[in-house]
Amino acid sequence: MIDVILTGNVLKTIAKAMVTLVSEARFHFKAEGFHSRAVDPANVAMVIVEVPSESFEAYSIGEEEEETVGVDVNRIYDISKAIKSNELVEVKVKDSEMVVKFGSVHYSVQLIDPSAIRKEPKVPNLELPAKIVMDAGEFRKVINAADKISDHVVFRSEDSGFYIQAEGDVDRIEFHMSETELIEFNGAVARSMFSIEYLKEFVKVAGSGDILTIYLGTNYPVRLIFDVCDGKAKVEYILAPRIEE
């Protein structure tokens, strides 16, 4: 039986990260922690969520090496909206039911047969030359600004730093951070275009003080790895590029 206790912000982040792309998912509980992986119906983006066991206030999965449950992500997301970020939440799974308890509130959620959920994707082996580490809040701000003028954005890396550019019919926005302004930067040359429709949803997992690591190539998918909840959880998105004409 699964019986874990975690802070509200961690559960809220798990739900928010997954609901961005899917309505159902497999949740895996192993001795080393929790993980889940899914791809959106259009096969454009993948999400990977990992929370090590030490990030939980209490963590027990019984005698099994791994417990896997099928979850209605929309229901968990709706429940998480009522939970405060600093509130302790107990999650129990027994038989075909998940019980979420916080304060005096108990939610019972019917589980889904994991075999009825779309097969989890393999994580692609990508060789992406550029590595950029930056404040996730800064990234969120520029993506939200770019969303107001365009439906796509260009990520560009070169010796002079990391650039994010978007162009509309009459407006243009450019964001630039040099090596000294970034947390880490290797200066590799790369450039790809991506859909803002996806990116503006991805950045919702980022909170104040969170760190984002970007791996970028040229006309290749991008890896966006958010270290969130004071380092308690990791959310990774892999997004296919829009090929420039």
Which CATH fold would you assign to the domain 2-115? Proliferating Cell Nuclear Antigen (3.70.10)
Q: What is the rounded distance in angstroms from the CA atom of residue 235 to the CA atom of residue 140?
A: 15
Q: In this predicted structure, what is the pLDDT of residue 117? A: 95
How confident is residue 244, by pLDDT bands cut at 50, 70 and 90?
low
Average pLDDT over residues 186-197: 97
- pTM for this prediction: 0.95
What are the sequence ranges of the domains in the chain? 2-115, 130-239
Residue 245's pLDDT is 60
Residue 224 has pLDDT above 70, yes or no: yes
Residue 81 token pair: 């909206």
Domain 130-239 - what CATH class? alpha beta
Q: Is the per-residue pLDDT at 207 higher than 90? A: no
Same CATH fold assignment for domains 2-115 and 130-239 = yes
> In 3D, which of 109, 42, 116 has the Cα closest to residue 77?
109
